[in-house]
């Protein structure tokens, strides 16, 4: 097998296509505020099948070009661009690349879209350019790009701690349907964290309980899902509280916010249970996606050598 055939869809015309999956936070404990201004977290993250598409093609003379179908995300401040520069800076590699990015994951939704794109650039170019960076080094580069990026270097189901830089892989959850509902409001991540008071901090118990359940192959209890940022976000953004009520009204048994929001999610063991809820929310003209949990192997397939995704 040559290198390109191991890497997803490398076409004969030189384009390499990969997918960058979104995530949801099944739990998000905020343990406290750190001296550096960040917050200490304990969170179980899960990749879901909603994905952006990245296309890579070699460019001469070390040029870097990034094109995104969303005009607001075209500039050099896009994390994709910064990921290429971080990789080149770390290795001295001067190869050029054009990256075309088709956004499907809503930006600033709490679903990690930009972070996932950046992680996929690190993984794909490390492989394509034969840079040979070990996973630990990729995790460091990922952390330099943003708190959510390290998770996507592993994907699947994982425990994330610290600022986001400590990622521990967990066994895959059983297959399940994940419904996403995005309220029509933008929530700034720094503002969501700033709004927390010590009364909002949690002790990490919800995350620890879920981690034990997953390690013991028990089905996670829906009641155990929580997000320490959710109450304040609902308080400050009535559109999120309203969407949450609508999700329950449509038939969801349990609703949780992902990341700093505003996207809400609900889990369903079968499509038969999910479909009526999805139809009801669509009928109300809401932004809703019916997607599914994605295993680590599937999330990393496009950039893994045989055996390497079995962490």
Nearer to ligand C5P, 161 or 273 (CB): 161
Query: Of residues 39, 88, 232, 244, which one binds ligand C5P by CB under 6 A?
Result: 39
Nearer to ligand C5P, 109 or 146 (CB): 146
Q: Which of residues 110-129 bind ligand C5P (CB under 6 A)?
A: none
Question: Would you give the binding string for ligand C5P spanning residues 277-296, x where CB under 6 A is met?
Answer: --------------------
Among 56, 193, 247, 289, binds ligand C5P (CB under 6 A): 193
Q: Does 164 participate in binding ligand C5P (rule CB under 6 A)?
A: yes
Q: What angle (nearest 5°) sits at the alpha carbon of residue 212, between those of residues 252 and 162?
A: 90
DSSP, collapsed to helix, strand or coil, labels residue 121 as helix
Among 237, 243, 278, 242, which residue's Cα sits nearest to residue 260? 237
Segment lying near ligand C5P (by CB under 6 A), choices 89-97, 186-194, 207-215, 226-234? 186-194
**Which one is catalytic: 29, 52, 117, 148?**
148
Determine which one of 3, 23, 36, 203 is catalytic.
23
Q: Which residue lies nearer to ligand C5P by CB, 29 or 52?
A: 29
Helix (H) or strand (E) run with residue 100 in it: strand 96-102
Using CB under 6 A, pick the residue from 7, 26, 41, 257 that binds ligand C5P.
Answer: 41
Q: Which of residues 19-38 bind ligand C5P (CB under 6 A)?
A: 38
3-state DSSP assignment of residue 202: coil
189 part of the interface to ligand C5P, by CB under 6 A: yes
Does the annotation mark 297 as catalytic?
Answer: no
Binding mask 140-159 toward ligand C5P (x if CB under 6 A, else -) reads ------xxx-----------
Using CA atoms, how far residue 274 sits from 45, 123, 155, in Å, is 21, 33, 24
Integer Cα distance of 190 and 37 in angstroms: 10
Task: Examine residue 182 and tell whether it contacts ligand C5P (CB under 6 A).
Answer: no
CA angle 187, 283, 19 (to 5 degrees): 55
Closest Cα partner for 177 from 251, 263, 274? 274
Can 172 be counted among the known catalytic residues? no
State in angstroms the smallest separation of the CB of 153 from ligand C5P: 15
Alpha helices by DSSP H, listed for 22-160, are 79-91, 113-128, 135-145, 149-154
From edge to edge, which strands make up the β-sheet containing 177-182? 256-257, 264-268, 177-182, 287-292
Element counts in the chain: helices (H) and strands (E): 10, 12
Query: Binding ligand C5P by CB under 6 A: which of 190, 198, 216, 307?
Result: 190
Catalytic (active-site) positions = 23, 148
Binding site for ligand C5P (CB under 6 A): 38-39, 41, 146-148, 163-164, 189-190, 193
């Amino acid at each position: 097998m040559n290198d390109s055939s191991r890497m997803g869809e490398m076409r004969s015309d030189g384009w390499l296509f990969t997918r960058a999956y979104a995530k949801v936070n099944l739990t998000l404990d905020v343990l406290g505020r750190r001296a550096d201004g960040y917050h200490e977290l304990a969170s179980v993250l899960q990749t879901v099948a909603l994905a952006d598409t990245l296309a890579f093609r070699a460019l001469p003379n070390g040029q870097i070009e990034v094109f995104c179908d969303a005009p607001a995300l075209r500039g050099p401040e896009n994390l994709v661009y910064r990921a290429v520069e971080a990789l080149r800076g770390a290795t001295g590699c001067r190869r050029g690349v054009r990256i075309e990015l088709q956004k499907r994951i809503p930006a600033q939704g709490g679903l990690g879209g930009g972070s996932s794109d950046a992680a996929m650039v690190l993984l794909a170019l490390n492989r394509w350019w034969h840079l040979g960076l070990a996973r630990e080094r990729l995790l460091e580069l990922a952390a330099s790009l943003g708190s959510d990026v390290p998770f996507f270097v592993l994907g699947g189901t994982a425990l994330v701690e610290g600022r986001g830089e400590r990622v521990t892989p967990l066994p895959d959850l059983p297959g399940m349907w994940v419904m996403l509902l995005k309220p029509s409001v933008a929530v700034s991540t720094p503002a969501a964290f700033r709004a927390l008071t010590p009364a909002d901090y949690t002790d990490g118990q919800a995350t620890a309980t879920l981690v034990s359940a997953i390690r013991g192959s028990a089905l996670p209890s829906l009641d155990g899902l929580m997000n320490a940022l959710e109450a304040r976000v609902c308080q400050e953004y009535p559109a999120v509280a309203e969407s949450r009520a609508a999700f329950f009204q449509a038939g969801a048994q349990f609703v949780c916010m992902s990341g700093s929001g505003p996207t809400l999610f609900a889990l369903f063991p079968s499509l038969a249970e999910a479909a009526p809820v999805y139809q009801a929310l669509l009928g109300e003209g809401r932004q809703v996606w019916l997607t599914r949990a994605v295993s680590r192997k599937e999330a990393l397939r496009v950039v893994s050598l045989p055996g390497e995704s079995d962490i």
